[in-house]
């Protein structure tokens, strides 16, 4: 038992310690990433404000992440509703197919998408990154929304219908408010995944890089390395914040409908 405990602790350190180095060097005044640390500074954060190229990349990433999140969540709502409300032939197979990007190597997705786009004689750009990100975000959105729909007692919808509502107004007045926490959660998770994603963005981004792609290109300039650390720190904090908010909404929804199934945290 004791050795297992030690193992678990070592494992966690190995996994997360590098992330803690990020803020450590982001606030270190030396341009060289090495111990011992020199003195505390916020210079690298102010330097970020001057990098106009980075601002363009950030804006790009935000546009792509918001669009991908909305698309993935919308598709996710349809899929999750279809799966939890109806049973149809080939249901398991179809769902497995939709969930495939969860385990498919991203590099495969990226390369195949690139080939298809070029073969079709189209240019890559923000739209192609959005397509790729929607593809990989949809399974996550479905997983979250499926738990939200599964937790929804079908007789709630029947009750609304029985009380004189139409299918459309039943969806608006009962279904939607009750799965809303799941929808918010799916939006936030998809947004986070798209913001952080590198491989697909790297292959499909064209002339306007996303933030992770821009970050990667900056690594070639040692002088900018501390600023990269600062940007990385901001991204890590934002990701943790968003995922926490997402989980908060998911749990609140689960609590209200009475049962907690699934979820990622």
Partner 1 sequence: MADMTADKPLISLQNVNKHYGDYHALRGINLDIRQGEFFSLLGPSGCGKTTLLRTIAGFEDYDTGSVMITGRDMRGVPANKRPTNMVFQSYAIFPHLSVIENVAFGLRKSKMSKTDKTLAAEAALEMVGLKGYGHRAAHALSGGQRQRVALARALVLKPKVLLLDEPLSALDRKMREQMQVELIKLQREVGITFILVTHDQEEALVMSDRIAVMFEGEIAQCDDPEVLYRKPNSKRVADFIGVMNFLPATVRKEGETYLATIAGLGETEITEAQCPGGVPVGEATVGFRPETLTLLYEGQSATHREAPAVVDEVVYYGDMTYYDVRFEGVEKPVRISMRNIFGRDVLGVGTKVRVSWSPGALVVFDQSA
| Chain contacts with partner 1 (rule: CB under 8 A) | 153, 155-156, 158-166, 173-174, 177-178, 256-258
- The residues pairing with 40 across neighbouring beta strands, listed in sequence order, are 28
CB of 61 to partner 1, least distance (A): 34
Q: Which is nearer to partner 1, 7 or 85 (CB)?
A: 85
CB of 101 to partner 1, least distance (A): 33
Cα–Cα distance measured from residue 196 to residue 34, given in angstroms and rounded to the nearest whole number: 26
Cα–Cα distance measured from residue 26 to residue 34, given in angstroms and rounded to the nearest whole number: 12
CB of 252 to partner 1, least distance (A): 11
CB of 84 to partner 1, least distance (A): 16
CB of 239 to partner 1, least distance (A): 30
Q: Which is nearer to partner 1, 160 or 204 (CB)?
A: 160
Radius of gyration from C-alpha coordinates of the chain: 22
Q: Which is nearer to partner 1, 50 or 155 (CB)?
A: 155
Q: Which is nearer to partner 1, 79 or 151 (CB)?
A: 151
Q: Which is nearer to partner 1, 154 or 222 (CB)?
A: 154
Q: Which is nearer to partner 1, 38 or 260 (CB)?
A: 260
Check residue 172 and give left, alpha or beta (phi > 0: left; psi -120 to 50: alpha): alpha
CB of 81 to partner 1, least distance (A): 18
Cα–Cα distance measured from residue 11 to residue 194, given in angstroms and rounded to the nearest whole number: 27
Show Cβ contacts of residue 251 under 8 Å, excluding neighbours closer than 6 positions. Answer: 260, 263
- Tokens describing residue 155: 């007789």
Residue in 230, 208, 227, 206 with CA at minimum distance from that of residue 218: 227
Instruction: Identify whether the C-beta of residue 64 lies closer than 8 Å to the C-beta of residue 133.
Output: yes
């Amino acid at each position: 038992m004791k050795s297992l405990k030690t193992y678990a602790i070592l494992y966690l350190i190995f996994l997360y310690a590098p992330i803690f180095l990020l803020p450590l060097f982001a606030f270190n005044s030396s341009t060289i990433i090495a111990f011992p640390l020199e003195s505390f500074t916020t210079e690298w954060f102010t330097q970020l404000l001057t990098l106009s190229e980075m601002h363009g990349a950030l804006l790009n990433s935000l546009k792509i992440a918001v669009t991908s999140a909305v698309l993935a969540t919308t598709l996710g709502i349809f899929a999750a509703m279809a799966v939890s409300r109806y049973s149809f032939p080939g249901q398991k197979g179809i769902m497995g197919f939709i969930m495939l990007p969860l385990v498919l190597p991203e590099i495969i997705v990226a390369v195949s998408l690139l080939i298809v786009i070029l073969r079709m004689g189209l240019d890559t750009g923000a739209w192609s990154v959005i397509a790729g990100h929607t593809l990989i975000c949809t399974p996550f959105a479905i997983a979250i929304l499926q738990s939200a729909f599964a937790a929804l007692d079908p007789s709630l919808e029947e009750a609304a219908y029985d009380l004189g509502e139409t299918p459309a107004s039943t969806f608006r007045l009962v279904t939607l408010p009750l799965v809303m926490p799941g929808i918010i959660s799916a939006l936030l998770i998809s947004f986070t995944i798209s913001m952080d994603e590198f491989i697909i963005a790297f292959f499909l981004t064209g002339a306007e890089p996303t933030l992770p792609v821009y970050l990667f290109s900056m690594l070639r300039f040692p002088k900018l390395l501390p600023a990269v650390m600062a940007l990385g720190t901001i991204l890590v904090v934002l990701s943790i914040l968003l995922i926490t908010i997402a989980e908060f909404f998911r749990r609140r929804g689960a609590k209200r409908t009475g049962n907690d199934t699934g979820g990622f945290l």
